[in-house]
Amino acid sequence: MILLIHGAGAGSWEWGIWQRVFAAEGLATLALHLQPASTGLAHTRYEDYLLQVERAIAKHQPSVVIGASLGGLLAAEALALNPSGANLVLVAPAGNRHSQCVPLREKSWSEISTMTKPSYKNVPPNDIKRWANDPQLARTARAVPDADAASVWFAHSRWRDEGLNVLATAQLGRHFEWRVRWCLMLAAALDTDVSNENLAQWAARDGMLYWLIPDASHAGLLLGDFAAVLAQRVIAAIKLTTLQLKPEFFSRFDRKHHENGSFHRL
C-alpha cells in the first residue's frame, strides 16, 4: 500500500489525479487527510500533524510513503520515528537543511531514537494563514499556471486555512535522521514556494534520486496538465526499485534526462 500525505492548505483531494493513475496500475493508496488540533487551527502545531502521519505509518505499514510540500517533510520525519523500511517519494517538500539520510545497515533504531532534537523557539504566536474562500480565483491561477481552468477551479474551491505556527516551523527546517531503502525527490522548475537549490543540495547530501520537472509549478506536480504522466513515471521508478526490474523498464523515458535527474519534456 502507498500512503499519500498532502501539503499545507490542501487535503487528501489534491492526490486525486495520482490516485487514479495508481489505481489503473493496480496499486492501492491511502490519502491521509490531516486534521487540526482539537483546540482549533490557530493552536495547531507541526507536531500535531507529525503524530497523525506517524500513527498512519505504524497502522498501515505502507511499502511507499509519498509526501507533497509540507507533507513531504512530515513523511521524511515520520519515517525517522517509525523505521518501517518504506521507500520514500518527496514531491517538492518543504525545505529542510538539517536532515541526514541513514542507510538501514549503518545505525540501529535505538541510536537514532535517542538523538537530541532542537527546540523551535522563534515561531510566531497563534495565528492562521487564510487561504480558504479566497474571492480571487486569479490567485490560484497564478499559483498553478500549468493547470487547466477546471483544475484551477477545483483547487480554488478546496483550499483550506493553515496554522501559521505549522508553516513557520516547517520553514525553519527540522533536524532528524531517517532510514529508508530508497528516496526519490521531485522538484518543480517553476516553484516559487520551495527553493530548488536547497532541494538539490538536500537530495545530493542524502543520496536521493533527483528529478527536476520543467514547466511545472509547486502545486502543478499534483494538479497540473502533466500530473498524470508524472505519476506514471513515479510508478515506474517505484517498480524498478521494489521489483528490481532492469533499466530497460525506462525505455519510454528520455534516457539522457533520466540519468541526469531532469526531463526536457513530459
Report residue 92 as a C-alpha cell. Answer: 517538492
Residue 188 phi/psi, 5-degree rounding, is -105, 125
Please report whether residue 170 resides in a domain. Answer: yes
How far, in Å, CA of 243 to CA of 237, rounded? 10
How far does the chain reach from its first CA to its final CA, in angstroms?
A: 26
Q: Residue 243 pLDDT > 90, yes or no?
A: no
pLDDT category at 124 given cuts 50, 70, 90 is low
Amino acid at 192: T
How far, in Å, CA of 125 to CA of 123, rounded? 7
Query: In terms of Cα–Cα distance, which of 42, 113, 108 is closest to 80?
Result: 113
Tell me the helices (H) and strands (E) count for the chain, helix number first.
Answer: 11, 10
Which residue's C-alpha cell is 491511502? 30
Amino acid at 62: P
Domain count, the chain: 1
How far, in Å, CA of 66 to CA of 21, rounded? 14
Please report whether residue 54 resides in a domain. Answer: yes
Please report whether residue 219 resides in a domain. Answer: yes
Q: Is 0.85 surpassed by the pTM of this model? A: no
pLDDT category at 104 given cuts 50, 70, 90 is very low
Q: Residue 217 pLDDT > 70, yes or no?
A: yes
Find the CATH number of the domain harbouring 140.
3.40.50.1820
Please report whether residue 266 resides in a domain. Answer: no
Q: Residue 80 pLDDT > 90, yes or no?
A: no
Please report whether residue 265 resides in a domain. Answer: no
Report residue 208 as a C-alpha cell. Answer: 536521493
Average pLDDT of the residues of the chain: 82
| Secondary structure element (H or E) that encloses residue 169, with its range | helix 164-172
Which residue's C-alpha cell is 518504506? 86
| Secondary structure element (H or E) that encloses residue 78, with its range | helix 70-81
68 in Cβ contact with 216 (< 8 Å): no
Distances (CA, A) of 151 to 4, 32, 102: 20, 21, 38
Please report whether residue 55 resides in a domain. Answer: yes
Q: What region does 161 belong to: left with phi over 0, alpha with psi -120 to 50, or beta? A: beta
Q: Residue 129 pLDDT > 60, yes or no?
A: yes
182 in Cβ contact with 167 (< 8 Å): no
Please report whether residue 264 resides in a domain. Answer: no
Please report whether residue 129 resides in a domain. Answer: yes
Give pLDDT, residue 207.
83
Q: What is the DSSP string of 148-198?
A: -HHHHHHHHTT---EEHHHHHHHHH----EE--S-EEEEEETT-SSS-HHH
Give pLDDT, residue 264.
39
Give pLDDT, residue 179.
67
How far, in Å, CA of 202 to CA of 185, rounded? 9
Q: Which DSSP letter does residue 181 get?
A: S
**Dihedral of the alpha carbons of 165, 171, 173, 179, in degrees to the nearest 10:** 90
Give pLDDT, residue 191.
94
| Residue 142, domain extent | 2-259
